[in-house]
Structure formats: C-alpha cells, structure tokens
Amino acid sequence: MCRFVHQIKYCVTLYAFDPSYCVCYGEFRGFEDASSGEKNISYAAFVILAGRLGAIFLQTGWVARVVLLILLFLSLFSWAIILQKYRMFATLEPRTKRFMQLFRTGRGLPDPNTLRAGSSGSPFVNVYDAGYRELEGQLAGGNPHPGKLKNPRAVLVEMQLASADEVRAMESWMPWLATIGSISTFIGLFGTVWGVMDAFAGLSEVGQASLQAVAPGIADALITTAAGLFAAIPAVIAYNIYLHRIRDFALRMDNFATEFVSKIETLYS
C-alpha cells in the first residue's frame, strides 16, 4: 500500500500498483469536515484510463505521436469554443426573455436605458437601440409633421442591419468548429494510412507473417483513427446545435424588428 496526502483537503489511498501497465488502484478519501463528513470517491477508472493512454502514447511511432498531438490541440481548441458558446447562449436566453417582457409591458415604447439596465447583454438591446435612434431622428429632425413617423421602412432597415451585426458576433469562432470537425478525421486518416504502411514495412523486414511484425503499425493506425473521431465528433455536434440556435436568434430578431415597426406605426402614424 502507498499513500499520498494532498496538502489541503484530499488524501489518496492506493491499494495496488501494476508496473506492467503503470496503473494504481485506489480511492480518494476526504478529510473529515463539519459540514459533509468523510467522503469516499472512487478514482480507479480515471487512473486506469490515464495510465493506459500514457502507455499507449509511449508505444506509438513518431509520426503517430505528431498526429496525436495535433489532434489533442484541435480537440482542446474545439472544446474551448464549445464551452464559450455554451456560456454565451446560457446567458443570452434568460436576458432576451427579460427584454421581451420589458418591451411588451405597457402600450408605449420603453426607454432604451431601462431596457439596457434590465436585460444587458441581450442582442435585442442593440437592435432596439438602432430602431429607436432612427425613430427619434424621424420625429425630430426636418419633419414637416412633428411627432409623426415619416418612413417606417427606414426604421426596419436600421434594425435589420443591427440584427445582422449581432448574428455575425454570435457566429464568431463557428468556422473553426466546422473546420476542426472536417479536418480531424482526415488527420486521423493520415495516421491510419501511415500505420498500415508501417505494418507492411515491418512485415517485409521479417519476411514472414507474424503478429509481432504488424502489431505496432496496426496499433498506430487504430489509435490515430480513434483520436481523429474523438476530436471531430464533438465539434460537428456542437457546430450543428449552435448554428441552429444562431439561426433561431436571427429569426427572432427579425420578428422583433417587424413587431417594433408595427408598434410605432400604431403610435406615431
């Protein structure tokens, strides 16, 4: 038995160590605490997985290692984008609902500062600001009929332009998700082809068919294939989900612009 104690709040008790696979078996044990007491968290699966992946990586050839490192970087980069977009949409949705509640409260037009204070961060705020500015300009400057709306179409165009800017902002980094989803499988395929070539080269050197001769190359081929899929699949799934949500926001902003113009036509025509 071996024991490692974290300096702050955890200690790890290792019950067994397998040197052939570089794997430890054990569990986390939390120090007793007044609120939660002693906690036992099994971590054997994590250690087994980490040990196996490390051993597999060390057994691969240099080409496979380069491919795996590239795929690791692409996977981490795509997950950073995925999490950033997840946080963005998790913030936008409740703030947009709050914005629409404020906008539809009462018959008149709410003050933009009130909407911004109550739903800051929603793309609808900037769309509303664009329409409100154009409305104020028409009601005040050079209007032969003060207090009357001159050109509702101009208000709608301004709001649509602001909506397009907001959609472009939401689409930032999305091409990278699409690119990673597309090229990761091909990078993995390159490792697959190289591994098969290496397997045949090993077979030709030995001069006879044997598992020992082809195993390293076949292992490299399978590992890089799996790594390519591991990097590509989450990126493709996230891209499709987020693209759908962006299109949904774009449609809702267009509908809001139409609703805004209809409301000001009622109020100022």
Better pLDDT: 240 or 51: 240
CA dist., res. 51 & res. 34, Å (int): 35
> What is the pTM assigned to this prediction?
0.76
Q: What is the pLDDT of residues 136-148, one digit of tens each?
A: 888 876 655 666 7
Better pLDDT: 22 or 128: 128
pLDDT of residue 38: 38
Domain positions in the chain = 1-59, 61-269
- Other beta carbons within 10 angstroms of residue 117's beta carbon come to 11
pLDDT of residue 29: 46
Instruction: Give the torsion through C-alpha atoms of 256, 258, 261, 266, to 10 deg.
Output: -100
Give the distance from CA 218 to its chain's centroid.
Answer: 33
Which amino acid is present at 119? S
| Sequence-ordered list of residues with C-beta below 8 angstroms from that of 142, at least 6 positions apart, any chain | none
pLDDT of residue 6: 38
As a whole-number percent, the residues of the chain with pLDDT over 70 amount to 71
Q: What is the pLDDT of residues 69-83, one digit of tens each?
A: 999 999 999 999 999
Name the nearest CA neighbour of 256 among 132, 173, 70: 132
